[in-house]
Amino acid sequence: MQTSPYNCTVIGKILLTPDLMILRIRTDEPRTQFKAGQFTTIGLMSNESRSANSVMPVEDAKPNSLITRPYSIASANYDTSEFEFYISQVKSGQLTPRLFDLTQGRRMWIDDKILGVFDLNSVAEGNNIVMIATGTGLAPYMSFLRSHIKDHHNVKLAVIHGAAYQWDLGYYSELQFIQAAFPNFFYFPTLLKPDGSWSGLTGYIEKHLEGEVLQKAGFEIEPCKTQFFLCGNPKMVESVTAYLSKNNYMKNCENGGLHVEEY
Ligand SMILES: Cc1cc2nc3c(=O)[nH]c(=O)nc-3n(C[C@H](O)[C@H](O)[C@H](O)COP(=O)(O)OP(=O)(O)OC[C@H]3O[C@@H](n4cnc5c(N)ncnc54)[C@H](O)[C@@H]3O)c2cc1C
């Protein structure tokens, strides 16, 4: 008889939209200490059902195989048994339609390794931190803020989050709350397709960087003063990198001031 590879249980699932969710799981055994910003790999067997709103991929996964993908951890790093993930559904994907069909209490697989060098807490003492994300690229920043905001009260911190619609702004209330509670934290959500009820920023993230939204909040755009983190859509990463390179930033190198994770 084959034994199940499953080693964790779904303890919460919040569907923010039919294609965007927060998933919480509890591992059977605690993981080792990790750094905020890192990712792990989760998975489901190919015989698990797919969500009703997904579409069949051209080629489905092999029968009786474990489908695995990496996901950034959104929860604080002081809890090594309960993990939160912020996941968008790729309707024709292999894993996400199966994840979206999960319900509380269901079993799944999680790797015992937690990996990645997108570690926000390694920033030099006294540097400001700007965290830029599109979509679910926000996840590592939620882990960082939940784990470390208290350690960074003497520098400025900002989150710039780009999304299409209001309902795609996951963690909006929590980020608004952090902004109200911590005067050194600035939250700039910007929407590409807002409706009439939205009075915040609109358009691409690059437009607001060019418009000096950060300088107006007191950030100096110099690699030795403000570190930038970019996570999400490769097009956003490319154009924000181009803007920052005009200001002497260099990607993923020591003292370059620019840290990138692409999904
Ligand atoms: C380090 C790392 C961290 C990640 N963290 C997250 C996270 O926190 N949240 C999250 O939602 N995803 C995250 N991802 C992406 C995730 O690993 C999967 O690639 C994604 O969820 C799609 O998996 P799938 O099996 O459903 O689709 P697949 O079967 O792998 O992909 C099917 C097709 O869809 C395309 N595709 C893949 N991703 C997307 C997308 N996002 N939008 C549109 N098309 C896509 C692929 O190119 C492929 O052609 C991360 C990736 C990396 C490398």
Number of structural domains, the chain? 2
Closest approach atom of ligand 1 to CA 136: 9
1 domain residue, yes or no = no
Q: What is the pTM of this model?
A: 0.95
Which of 77, 68, 73 lies closest to 87 in space, CA to CA?
73
Within a domain: 81: yes
Percentages helix, strand, coil for the chain (3-state, rounded to 5) are: 25, 35, 45
The residue whose CB lies within 8 Å of the most ligand 1 atoms, and thus the one to mutate among 69, 100, 109, is 69
Q: pLDDT per residue over 123-147, tens digit each?
A: 889 999 999 999 999 999 999 999 9
Determine the residue of 51, 62, 68, 71 to mutate for testing ligand 1's pocket, defined as the one with the most ligand atoms within 8 A of the Cβ atom: 71
Domain final residue pick, 89, 115, 141: 115
From 85, 115, 145, the end of a domain falls on: 115
- Position 253 in a domain: yes
Residue 35 covered by a domain: yes
CA distances from 112 to 44, 75, 109 (A): 15, 16, 10
Final residue before a domain boundary, out of 99, 115, 131 = 115
Q: What is the pLDDT of residue 2?
A: 65
Tell whether 68 and 154 lie within a shared domain.
no
pLDDT at 121: 79
Domain containing 161 — which CATH number? 3.40.50.80
Domain membership of residue 24 (yes or no) is: yes
Q: What tens-digit pLDDT sequence spans the chain (263 residues)?
A: 568 999 999 999 999 999 999 999 999 999 999 999 999 999 999 999 999 999 998 888 999 999 999 999 999 999 999 999 999 999 999 999 999 999 999 999 999 999 999 988 778 899 999 999 999 999 999 999 999 999 999 999 999 999 999 999 999 999 999 999 999 999 999 999 999 999 999 999 999 999 999 999 999 999 999 999 999 999 999 999 999 999 999 987 778 899 998 88
74 Cα to the center of ligand 1, angstroms: 16
Domain match, 175 and 71 both: no
- Both 173 and 86 in one domain: the answer is no
Is 3 a member of any domain? no
What is the model's pLDDT at position 7?
A: 98
The rounded distance, in Å, linking the Cα atoms of 164 and 191 is 5
Same domain assignment for residues 44 and 137: no
Question: If you take atom 33 of ligand 1, which residue's CA is the nearest one?
Answer: 93
- Provide CB contacts within 8 A for 216, sequence distance 6+: none
The atom number, within ligand 1, closest to the CA of 70 reads 17
Q: What separation in Å is there between the alpha carbon of 263 and the centre of ligand 1?
A: 6
Nearest atom in ligand 1 to the alpha carbon of residue 118 is: 1
111 lies in the same domain as 147: no
Ligand 1-lining residues (CB < 6 angstroms): 39, 69-72, 85-88, 90, 92-96, 136, 139, 261, 263
3-class state of residue 132 by DSSP: strand
Which atom of ligand 1 lies closest to the CA of 71?
5
What residues make up the domain containing 153?
120-262
Ligand 1, atom nearest to 99 Cα: 26
Q: Are residues 237 and 125 in the same domain?
A: yes
Residues 171 and 43 in one domain: no
- The alpha carbon of 43 and the centre of ligand 1 are apart by a number of angstroms equal to 13
**The pLDDT of residue 113:** 97
Ligand 1 atom with the shortest distance to the CA of 67: 25
Residue 101's CATH number? 2.40.30.10
Same domain, residue pair 248 and 174: yes
> Token pair for residue 182?
């911590």
Residues 236 and 208 in one domain: yes
> Does residue 143 share a domain with residue 91?
no
CA 93 to ligand 1 centroid distance, Å = 8
The pLDDT tens digits for 236-259 are 999 999 999 999 999 877 788 999
